[in-house]
């Protein structure tokens, strides 16, 4: 069963959408089910000042995307790189074991977006 938090975020996800002039973009696909997710970042002084996501996936993927963006907003890039799929699942009050793979997408897309930002600035990733 899904936790109340997962159901709430599935119904009313936060930070849905696209940032057209994003500083970093990360897209990942889930090899288990074929679902896809993209995360867009705006960065100022090494901090994530805005973040949005687009997810073509199941309810758990949407809830984890929403939670990941909430956890990452306002954090430094360094801190956001440390957000793990386990952190996201914990904040959601857990996920059914069969849905744990869905939580991989969001943290991975966030990390890819940060790497994209760093690459664009000519930093090594």
Interface residue list for ligand FES (CB under 6 A): 30, 33, 35, 57-58, 60-61, 102, 105
Report the residue number, 33 or 86, with the smaller CB distance to ligand FES. Answer: 33
Catalytic residue, from 6, 102, 105, 106: name it: 102
Burial 68-96 (b: 16+ CB within 10 A, else e): bbbbbbebebeebbebebeebbebbeebe
Is 58 assigned a catalytic role?
Answer: no
Going by C-beta distance under 8 Å and a sequence separation of 6 or more, which residues neighbour residue 8?
none
Catalytic residue, from 32, 33, 86, 125: name it: 33
Task: Put the strands of the sheet holding 47-56 in their side by side order.
Answer: 24-29, 36-44, 47-56
Is 33 assigned a catalytic role?
Answer: yes
Tokens of 32: 């288990």
In angstroms, what is the minimal distance from the CB of 88 to ligand FES? 13
In angstroms, what is the minimal distance from the CB of 30 to ligand FES? 5
Q: Which residues are catalytic?
A: 33, 102
């Amino acid at each position: 069963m899904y936790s109340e938090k997962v159901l709430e975020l599935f119904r009313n996800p936060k930070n849905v959408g696209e940032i057209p002039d994003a500083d970093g973009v990360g897209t990942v696909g889930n090899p288990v089910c074929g679902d896809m997710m993209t995360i867009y970042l705006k960065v100022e002084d090494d901090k994530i000042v805005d973040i949005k996501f687009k997810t073509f996936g199941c309810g758990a993927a949407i809830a984890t995307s929403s939670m990941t963006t909430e956890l990452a907003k306002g954090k430094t890039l360094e801190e956001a790189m440390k957000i793990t799929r386990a952190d996201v699942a914990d904040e959601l009050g857990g996920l059914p074991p069969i849905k744990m793979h869905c939580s991989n997408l969001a943290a991975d897309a966030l990390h890819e977006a940060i790497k994209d930002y760093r690459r664009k600035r000519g930093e090594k990733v």
